[in-house]
Copies of this chain bind each other. A is one copy, B any other.
Amino acid sequence: MKIYLDCIPCFVRQALEASKMATGDKTTQEKALRKVLSELGKTSLKGKIPSDIAHKIHRIVRKVTGNNDPYKKLKDEYNRKALKLYPNLKRMVARSKDRLLTATKLSIAGNIIDFGPGSEFDLEKTIEEVLVQDFTINHYDRLRRELRKSEKIMYLGDNTGEIVFDRILLEELKGKKITFVVKGGPIINDATIEDAKFAGIDKIAEIKTVSNGEPRTGPERNSKGFINLLKSADVVISKGQGNYEALSEVNANIFFLLKVKCPTIARDIGVKIGGIVVKG
């Protein structure tokens, strides 16, 4: 998805939120925010995708505040919260008529744990709602068929906490060769290798990383090398808005699983805010 002008005010809000998470010092917060504003003023949007800008601004916030991981505390909190829910989520899958469907829905419910869009959320309520909610874009039957005949699966994770919900879905795909992709360094509340290990995903999948905007953290998601990797998989499951933004125009066997939280993505994908999507 190309970047829209509407993404800019949202990135400014995100930069301020990250700065506040990073430091309590208001002078440093203002310094970081103003540096972000100046950088955005210099940056043409032509040919850009949202993560090009996100990488830039969060890198500035990390640098100016000297805090490499502003969302660390929140990330840990949601990892723990989600892991506590894990036994209950497993029971929901076990009791359901269609295990894969329930696991898919739970993985989408977990996508509500997102500190990017700036809206508040209620995790437990979202789980209940999503389980009885219809997909607004529903390519689930095709996903099921594709998964059944697949051997190599790539699964692009999104947020901390959410990846415990992803584990529920991954555990329904036993016997497949799974690669789970996280960020190679911190950005907002996106999951990293550390989080994948905390959620126990390293025991059921190979972990690979993509860039958080810093050097040596992995390839950019829209790089040629990474796209070739996606193409080499039989099925790609892509979680969340960020991965949709980065890969919506890539020609591979990708299924986007997400809960729509941002008005610009809502317009781009043609689904109202709150809608749940399995889009192949």
Contact = CB atoms under 8 A, between A and B. Distances in A.
Interface stretch (A26-34, A103-111, A189-197): A26-34
A47 interface: no
Given A5-B30, A6-B16, A12-B12, 15 more contacts: A5-B16, A5-B20, A5-B29, A5-B33, A8-B12, A9-B9, A9-B13, A9-B16, A34-B40, A34-B42, A37-B41, A38-B41, A38-B42, A39-B41, A40-B41
Interface in A37-52: 37-45
29 contacts: A5-B26, A5-B30, A5-B33, A6-B16, A8-B16, A8-B33, A8-B37, A9-B10, A9-B12, A9-B13, A9-B16, A12-B12, A30-B44, A30-B45, A34-B40, A34-B42, A34-B43, A35-B41, A36-B41, A37-B37, A37-B38, A37-B40, A37-B41, A38-B38, A38-B41, A38-B42, A39-B41, A40-B41, A41-B41
Q: 10 closest Cβ contacts across the A-B interface?
A: A38-B41, A37-B41, A9-B13, A9-B12, A37-B40, A12-B12, A37-B37, A34-B41, A41-B41, A9-B16
Contacts of A26: 5
A39 B36 CA distance: 12
- Mostly helix, strand, loop or mixed at chain A's interface? helix
A46 to B, nearest CB: 9
Contacts of A30: 5, 44-45
Interface residues of A, number: 25
A6 B8 CA distance: 15
A188 to B, nearest CB: 15
Nearest to A38: B41
A9 B13 CA distance: 5
Interface in A249-265: none
A13 B8 CA distance: 8
Nearest to A9: B13
A26 B10 CA distance: 18
A13 B37 CA distance: 13
A88 B29 CA distance: 50
Nearest to A20: B5
Contacts of A8: 12, 16, 33, 37
Contacts of A35: 41
Contacts of A42: 34, 38
Interface in A78-105: none
